[in-house]
A and B are shown apart, each in its own frame.
Chain A
Amino acid sequence: MARTKVILQDALAMVLAGGQGERLYPLTRDRSKPAVPFGGIYRIIDFTLSNCLNSGIRKIFVLTQYRSASLERHLKMGWDPVMSPELDEWIFTVPPQLRLRQSWYQGTADAIYQNIHLLEDQRPRHVVVLSGDHVYKMDYAAMLRCHEETGAVATIAAVDVPVDEAHAFGVLHVDPRARIVSFQEKPEQPEPIPGRPDRALVNMGVYCFDTRALVRALVEDARLPTRHDFGHDILPRLLRTGDVCAHPFVDPDHRPLYWRDIGTLDAFYQANLDLLAERPTFDLYDEAWPIRTLSQQLPPAWAAEGAVLRRAIVGPGCVLQGTVNGSVLSPQVRVGAGAVVEEAVLMDGVVIGEGARVRRAIVDKSVRIPPGASVGHDAEADQQRFTVSAGGVVVIPKGAQLD
């Protein structure tokens, strides 16, 4: 354990939180993707930050860019108080400094390159590069130990997914010692894991680097007309200079663990609903790995005599008089008498009027669904009024006015 402590003290996390999140629009109209509310009381970035905290990584830079006010508020109020600067524990949000380039971040690697002075100041032995928009529970300390043991210049967290979904990711091929022998970024025809034709091993976008190897790769890449992207450019470059290892994201029985890149509205919706299963594949109630967030002083949720609640997450301050089935409710949601909410994600302060029906929908903060109104029951009408995802989920943006 003492060794692990030393490794962690000499590690620093950089959380990429600057993506525009266009595919999550309109949820990202007023906020960056990591700040999108998730799972009732959380923001998406809480999962990555909780992983850092639970793993013992207490030096965290969050690299922001677009529409960061909401995220900064959340981090300032929810996460600053957890860290102890006197013990050299901290979390800093860093907007683009425009020191090395007079431009926005051109890719994931450019975001780190443009902040190379942060690494220069800290000089950590290892840098853990993380995404602020993934939902998973992972012990980065175990990954760092694996990284030290193998002596690799970089270690990539890898999870196996169905081969027909692998085209959206970087696909890894490893030798028996988990060293990566080849890498295809978003291939049209992903190669399966040998002996398992239905599964492929993919890059989770969770990296552990030797700082010097990372910096060298970044400064070299910065001179070239590349996409300045970890998957496209930095990993292939590192593969040419030394060993890059995969760290499998599996349970003790070698089954793949839950990891979701919240890249699309449908992924966001499904990951919320995943929390509702009887035996959830992603367990928020695991006391060994608490997920923390900014908690508000609110009264408990209350349900009326005739309220019906099945398979639901209900945040504090909710007032329920109607029926809620298979849904995720953030704090201070009101569901009026006779209203029916099914398979929906309702964010803070949403009001469902009496007798209204809401089905397969994401309703952003403070939207009021008028009494008797219907959402998610008439595809044609919904499409004329709202964004509808590829999977048919209706999305009502923050502040929308409904008749």
Chain B
Amino acid sequence: MSKILVIEDEKNLRQLYKQDLELDGHTVVTAKSAEEGLRKVETEAPDLVVLDIRMPGMDGLEAMGRILDQHPSVPVLLNTAYSSYQDSFLSWGADAYVIKSSDTGQLRREVEELLSGKRVGARRRPGGQPQAQS
């Protein structure tokens, strides 16, 4: 069982991700802003961070830079409604990039894969397509 930190400003999505990831057997803590998320990375020591990009205040890309500065081995999954961020250089540091959907299937699959240690470190490739899954 792993501890996942979900940083997401939309309340409904926070609850949806928490519920679904808990169904997969994980402990889920949530933060409703990047600032709160950065504090919880320290206090909760999560095994993985699910991070929204567009949020009021600090955005997810800046938050990711700060998380990786202190905890470079913690996998970060960027989860956003916008595919355009895939071209942002900063987003290339993420371990996975998932486009938001009402179906949490892809998010959960990526979470499992990252937690299983099959993918470590920055694996995003420019062009935006996730690596072929083995």
Contacts and interface: CB of A to CB of B under 8 A. Distances in A.
Interface in B15-32: none
Interface of A: 99-103, 116-117, 119-120, 212, 215-216, 219-220, 222-225
Contact of A220 (B62, B65, B122): B122
B82 to A, nearest CB: 16
Given A102-B69, A223-B73, A216 B121 contact: no
16 contacts: A100-B65, A100-B68, A100-B69, A101-B69, A102-B66, A102-B69, A120-B88, A215-B92, A216-B125, A216-B126, A220-B121, A220-B122, A222-B68, A222-B72, A222-B122, A223-B68
B119 to A, nearest CB: 12
A21 B62 CA distance: 31
A280 B126 CA distance: 47
B60 interface: no
Interface in B58-97: 62, 65-66, 68-69, 72-73, 88-90, 92-93
B72 A215 contact: no
B67 to A, nearest CB: 10
A395 B90 CA distance: 45
B66 A225 contact: no
A394 B111 CA distance: 62
Given A215-B92, A219-B89, A224-B121, 11 more contacts: A100-B90, A103-B69, A116-B89, A117-B90, A120-B88, A215-B89, A216-B125, A216-B126, A222-B122, A223-B72, A224-B72
Contacts of A225: 72
Given A99-B65, A101-B69, A116-B89, A219 B126 contact: no
Contacts of A101: 65, 69
> A-B pairs with the 3 shortest C-beta distances?
A100-B65, A219-B93, A101-B69
Interface in B82-133: 88-90, 92-93, 121-122, 124-126
Contacts of A102: 66, 69
B126 A116 contact: no
Given A212-B126, A224-B121, A100 B66 contact: yes
Contacts of B124: 219
Given A219-B122, A225-B72, A99 B62 contact: yes
Nearest to A225: B72
Given A99-B62, A100-B66, A222-B68, A119 B89 contact: yes
Contacts of B72: 222-225
Contacts of A219: 89-90, 92-93, 122, 124
B93 A223 contact: yes
A212 B73 CA distance: 23
Contacts of B62: 99
A224 B121 CA distance: 8
Contacts of B125: 216
A224 B123 CA distance: 12
Contacts of B126: 212, 215-216
Nearest to A123: B89
B13 to A, nearest CB: 26
Given A117-B90, A216-B92, A216-B126, A223 B69 contact: no
A154 to B, nearest CB: 15
Contacts of B68: 100, 222-223
Contacts of A222: 68, 72, 93, 122
B121 A223 contact: yes
A223 B66 contact: no
Contacts of B73: 223
Contacts of A117: 89-90
Contacts of A100: 65-66, 68-69, 90
Of A120, A220, A223, chain B has the most CB atoms within 10 Å of the CB of A223
A224 B120 CA distance: 10
Contacts of A212: 126
Nearest to B75: A223
A120 B90 contact: yes
A116 B90 contact: yes
B103 to A, nearest CB: 29
A117 B73 CA distance: 22
Contacts of A120: 88-90
Of A117, A219, A222, chain B has the most CB atoms within 10 Å of the CB of A219
Contacts of A119: 89
A215 B125 CA distance: 10
Nearest to A102: B69
A111 to B, nearest CB: 15
